[in-house]
């Protein structure tokens, strides 16, 4: 991420904001992958589909485009293999969000766009 401040340029890595990946494709990191269905979303449920290589504690949360927590979707144990959590876009204002899954210290993030 780049920008300007006081007439100069600055650079900050996405990892400074807790973001490991921003892509329309599935994010794959160390035994964790994440895919979103229905993105951009308007009225139907969005499915956050994540796959774990081993069972572990998982936190799935939604953040805004500034990295602030909007909602914790799941916080607890998840089994190995495919896991699915639903996100209701009608509970969110239109805009850009990030679905962030953290498992065993590995983070996968996907951009979610809510439109009306």
Sequential DSSP letters for 15-30: GGGT-S---SSPEEET
Q: What is the pTM (predicted TM-score) of this model?
A: 0.73
**Per-residue model confidence (pLDDT) at position 31:** 78
pLDDT in tens, 30-73: 679 999 998 999 888 999 999 999 999 999 999 999 999 999 99
Domains of the chain: 17-114 (2.60.40.1930)
pLDDT in tens, 60-112: 999 999 999 999 999 999 999 999 999 999 999 999 999 999 998 999 999 99
Mean of the pLDDT values across residues 19-29? 51
């Amino acid at each position: 991420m780049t920008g300007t401040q006081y007439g100069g340029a600055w650079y900050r890595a996405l990892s400074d904001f807790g973001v490991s990946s921003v892509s329309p494709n599935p994010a794959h990191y160390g035994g964790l992958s994440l895919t979103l269905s229905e993105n951009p979303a308007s009225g139907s449920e969005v499915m956050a589909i994540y796959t774990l290589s081993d069972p572990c504690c998982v936190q799935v949360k939604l953040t805004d485009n500034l990295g602030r927590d909007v909602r914790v979707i799941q916080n607890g144990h998840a089994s190995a293999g495919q896991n699915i959590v639903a996100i209701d876009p009608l509970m969110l204002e239109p805009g850009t969000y990030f679905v962030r899954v953290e498992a065993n210290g590995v983070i996968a993030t996907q951009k979610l766009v809510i439109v009306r």
